[in-house]
Structure 1
């Protein structure tokens, strides 16, 4: 497929402030060291460091302890490798190697055990076990339950992406939007930040339609913005799991016009978010059932979602080479990708 001509990423006019943890650069180095120790990366460590996992973690985690920033950066490092390895198997037509890895991950998440020594020795599985134990140790029962639910949904969405790339029928825009809320891999990370902030919202608050409207609009804004940043690579390698590409295909418009369409959708979704946030507090105050401490926790979680929206945007623009690297823009695999990683035992 022809390479997309370079284009400026629009300013999405996110009306939120952002601060960055002062030790984000240190967390970034520690995340790379963790990935090297767990053999997720063997070569091109400098390129992997340039993804900036620690910088992203430092922008989206609010006032959490430094150990939480590092843990989040390590999880991000693992998730980037997971995503790249999945892409590698799609390119090579070797997806049969994928289920043993994800089955081991979901089994450990559910039971604390992995059947089969070979699966447990795989770097992706070993890395997940190390992270999962530390993540769950810092979570309340309710937050841990949400994390345990979100990770399998994230893994399933990667299977859906593989199916989209191999199928003649492309997903509708709405089908893609629903899938993207999980393939973005944001929800488990948001659970981690909530735990790191010491917040334990009751499940009935998370389940409230007004609260879900806030979460969904925030996740959509981040995901759709990422689709604009990642368009050159995904277009170059024929990946149709991108909102810009799908709008171009379904509406019969050029990619530049589709970028403008996504920009307009993001601006509308920002308005949705602001309205949903206002509506959330109108609803909970009107119902009068939340005690002041829980209401304060809701306020803090909503502020965290704002950190995520602006922090992810700033990271992609200024602190991450993943979307500007020449190999990436040409649709090639990253230099740090280990072709044998999934089969390592």
Structure 2
């Protein structure tokens, strides 16, 4: 975004507000780092989109390599020539300071997968490939970064969760449903923009292309899936909270672990209200007020990726 666009649009995009509504009870420095990372993620998503629209595969390949490198050695990239890479490194150095190296390594593994999923989306969009619904949903869990936002729940709670806790079916299902809701609701709100831009990566577009639904039918089906996700989460949330209570075995460690899991699960619930609010307040989705419904007015269309 050029400076005048930042002044005009930045606050109205509400990127940091979204995180403030999700990671409640996080210390200020943790919330700031997560909010900055979230803002970076949206900017990265727009760069990725512009590299596709303006046919810049070499620029995308270069950025992909740089992000993988920065993920493993962020301090080396703090002053990188590409501001997007430098900003990524900056947010990582802060996020990596809150929890043990084992959490950092897991976060890095998860984000390496996100970068590669973005590469698959790049190729699909360049080649005009609309993934079938189930294939799309599996890929969407990566492009929406389900496990990244879930990992960050632990940073907000101030404790790394042991693998048996984090991978327990009740905890993992609640976490997955909170993110599925967010991703599918995002697709619903992004559908007008993405249809206008001839995009191929959207649940509604997959339903239309592979299931033979009309636009109106696809919207109704997305609304049904989103509502079903809410209902399923309420059941999963109760199971996860019961699981958390059972972790309190009377020891100090058990009590602390139980409290951390309860904090994480409560914040999973916050994702529903935060995401709903964000999509109706952020200027990112108000396509009816744009000159071009496929392109947000704050996006800089210059060849930034070629620098």
For residue 315 of structure 1, the aligned residue among 278, 285, 290 is 278
For residue 30 of structure 2, the aligned residue among 68, 79, 83 is 68
Q: Does structure 2 conserve the Cα–Cα contact (< 8 Å) formed by 1:51 and 1:321? A: yes
For structure 1, the 5+ residue unaligned runs are 1-39
The alpha-carbon deviation at position 186 of structure 1 amounts to 4.5
For residue 254 of structure 2, the aligned residue among 283, 291, 297 is 291
The alpha-carbon deviation at position 284 of structure 1 amounts to 6.7
Question: Comparing 157-166 with 257-266, which one deviates more in the overlay?
Answer: 157-166
Q: 1:278 corresponds to which residue?
A: 238
Q: Does structure 2 conserve the Cα–Cα contact (< 8 Å) formed by 1:147 and 1:191? A: yes
How far apart are the structure 2 equivalents of 1:276 and 1:329? Answer: 41
Identify the structure with bigger relative contact order (alpha carbons < 8 Å, sequence gap 6+).
Answer: 1
Q: 1:258 corresponds to which residue?
A: 218
- The answer on 1:97 being equivalent to 2:84 is no
- The answer on 1:200 being equivalent to 2:200 is no
- The answer on 1:81 being equivalent to 2:70 is no
4+ runs deviating over 6 angstroms = 284-290
How does 1:35-184 map onto structure 2 within 5 Å?
A: 41-45=2-6, 46-112=8-74, 120-184=80-144
How far apart are the structure 2 equivalents of 1:138 and 1:172? Answer: 39
Aligned to 1:248, what secondary structure does the other structure show? helix
The alpha-carbon deviation at position 281 of structure 1 amounts to 4.9
How far apart are the structure 1 equivalents of 2:265 and 2:58? Answer: 40
When residues 62 and 78 of structure 1 are mapped into structure 2, their CA distance, relative to the original with a 3 A threshold, is same
Q: Does structure 2 conserve the Cα–Cα contact (< 8 Å) formed by 1:54 and 1:73? A: yes
For residue 264 of structure 2, the aligned residue among 290, 301, 316 is 301
How far apart are the structure 1 equivalents of 2:291 and 2:92? Answer: 29
How far apart are the structure 1 equivalents of 2:143 and 2:103? Answer: 20
Q: Deviations over 1:179-213 (max 9, x none)?
A: 11121134324433421331321122112233222
Structure in which a larger fraction of residues adopt helix:
2
Give the TM-score of the pair, scaled to structure 1. 0.79
When residues 303 and 329 of structure 1 are mapped into structure 2, their CA distance, relative to the original with a 3 A threshold, is farther
Question: Comparing 74-83 with 133-142, which one deviates more in the overlay?
Answer: 133-142
Q: 1:239 corresponds to which residue?
A: 199
For structure 2, the 5+ residue unaligned runs are none
Q: 2:303 corresponds to which residue?
A: 340
When residues 93 and 182 of structure 1 are mapped into structure 2, their CA distance, relative to the original with a 3 A threshold, is same
Q: Does structure 1 conserve the Cα–Cα contact (< 8 Å) formed by 2:15 and 2:39? A: yes
Aligned to 1:74, what secondary structure does the other structure show? helix
Q: Deviations over 1:289-331 (max 9, x none)?
A: 89333222211111111111211111212x3111004338611
For residue 327 of structure 1, the aligned residue among 266, 290, 295 is 290
The alpha-carbon deviation at position 90 of structure 1 amounts to 0.5
The alpha-carbon deviation at position 223 of structure 1 amounts to 0.4
Q: 1:14 corresponds to which residue?
A: none
The alpha-carbon deviation at position 48 of structure 1 amounts to 3.0
Question: Comparing 131-140 with 167-176, which one deviates more in the overlay?
Answer: 167-176
The alpha-carbon deviation at position 69 of structure 1 amounts to 2.7
How does 1:183-194 map onto structure 2 within 5 Å?
A: 183-194=143-154
When residues 227 and 302 of structure 1 are mapped into structure 2, their CA distance, relative to the original with a 3 A threshold, is same
- The answer on 1:221 being equivalent to 2:184 is no
Question: Comparing 106-115 with 250-259, which one deviates more in the overlay?
Answer: 106-115
